[in-house]
Amino acid sequence: MDLLFPRSPAKVILPVLDKPNYSGLDWLKFAAALLVIANHTGPLHAFHAYADFLLSGVLTRIAVPLFFMSSGFFFFRKLSGDPSKDHRAFLAYIKKITVLYGIAILLYLPLNVYKGYFLESFSPLALLKDLIFNGTFYHLWYLPALIIGLSLTYTLYRKMSLPKLLMIGVCLYGIGLLGDSYYGLTVRAAGLHQLYESMFLVFDYTRNGIFYAPIYIMLGAWAAKRPAPAIKPKGNAGLFFLGLVLMLAEGILLKEAEFPRHDSMYVFALPAAYFLFQWALSWKASSGKAFREWRLWIYILHPIAIVLVRGAAEAAKLEALFIANSVIHFVTVCLVSVVMAAAAVRLSVIKFKFRP
């Protein structure tokens, strides 16, 4: 009887699987958030305008692609293949980003009122365009772009293979390039120029959720679902630096040719961002959950930090130090942004129970 009905169940020893460590990506996104601040403050502007263009106008343009890629990576690696579960995960993610976007819109209402947003050529149509494409403040375009880009990517992902998905993303990005850094080619073709001018009646820039975000989200999905061949970290680092050098050369040549309508989108940002992302996956670092959430809040709050630093400098008659000196201005805005982000994360834990 004991053989059929043992008095106590046998202990089953299961192998302990190491949980993937993506703390390298946490540090990468933190650095990318600081690059966004650099883009909006021009750290070298007071000392050398062309050097500041290389930093603020070219190098910093790798930051937002890393955000999109990271979002794609973490979202798609959680998909199980069960259509109903995956769709619920998709809707939950979109809901979180939409709530965050709503919070950000409310945060910037006072600044919008101060800047005259609701007075100068304001209309329900203009508000709708901003809500869907442009963002209601100059940096908030990222959140609706993430919502649209992820929705588009997820919908296509359910219908086709990843290689075909990437082909569509590349095509959309190519269309976006002709309305951004390669606009000089567009104006040379009358019919094409007219088409893009019509598009700009709907949105101000092609760096949006239709043309810009999808390819980077798709690259993140590719990294999650199709692990890269075994390339040593030094290999990914080398390919990243090669892509970065080519991106710099691309930015310089486009500027000399006076092609850009806007300078958000570069061809060589694609390999530079992808190989930097792959390199960061191998970084051995430590980070906490709060630190992981700082990046998003730094991005959202840094324009407020810029206003606070400028206002405090003017009130204290220290404009020469904290405004005119662009390096000190940048560093100060970074520090204030980090402090505000840490406070926002703490507040979200206590008050909102919200995890972006």
Q: How does pLDDT run along the chain (356 residues), one tens digit per residue?
A: 333 334 444 444 444 445 677 889 999 999 999 999 999 999 999 999 999 999 999 999 999 999 999 999 999 999 998 999 999 999 999 999 999 999 999 999 999 998 888 887 788 899 999 999 999 999 999 999 999 999 999 999 999 999 999 999 999 999 999 999 999 999 999 999 999 999 999 999 999 999 999 999 999 999 998 766 666 778 899 999 999 999 999 999 999 999 999 999 999 999 999 999 999 999 988 877 778 888 899 999 999 999 999 999 999 999 999 999 999 999 999 999 999 999 998 887 545 444 44
Separation CA 196–CA 242 (nearest Å): 32
Q: CA–CA separation, 299 vs 50, rounded Å?
A: 25
* Domain locations along the chain: 23-352
3-state secondary structure of 287: coil
What separation in angstroms does the CA of 334 have from each of 10, 33, 207, 300, 347?
A: 57, 9, 25, 12, 20
- Tell me the whole-structure pTM to 2 decimals: 0.91
For residue 348, what are its two tokens? 């979200």
- Rounded-to-integer distance, Cα 76 and Cα 310, Å: 41
Q: Given its phi and psi angles, is residue 207 left (phi above 0), alpha (psi -120 to 50 degrees) or beta?
A: beta
Residue given tokens 């061949």 in the structure block:
229
Residue 219 burial (C-beta neighbours within 10 Å; 0-12, 13-18, 19+): buried
Burial of 84 from C-beta contacts in 10 A (0-12 / 13-18 / 19+): exposed
- Supply angle C-alpha 248, 36, 356, rounded to 5: 135
Computed from CA positions of residues 279, 285, 289, 292, in that sequence, does the dihedral angle turn out positive or negative?
negative
Q: What is the CA radius of gyration of the chain?
A: 23
Q: Which two tokens stand for residue 285?
A: 């670092």
Length of the chain: 356
CA atoms within 13 A on the CB side of 302: 27
CA-based torsion, 256, 326, 136, 337: positive or negative:
positive
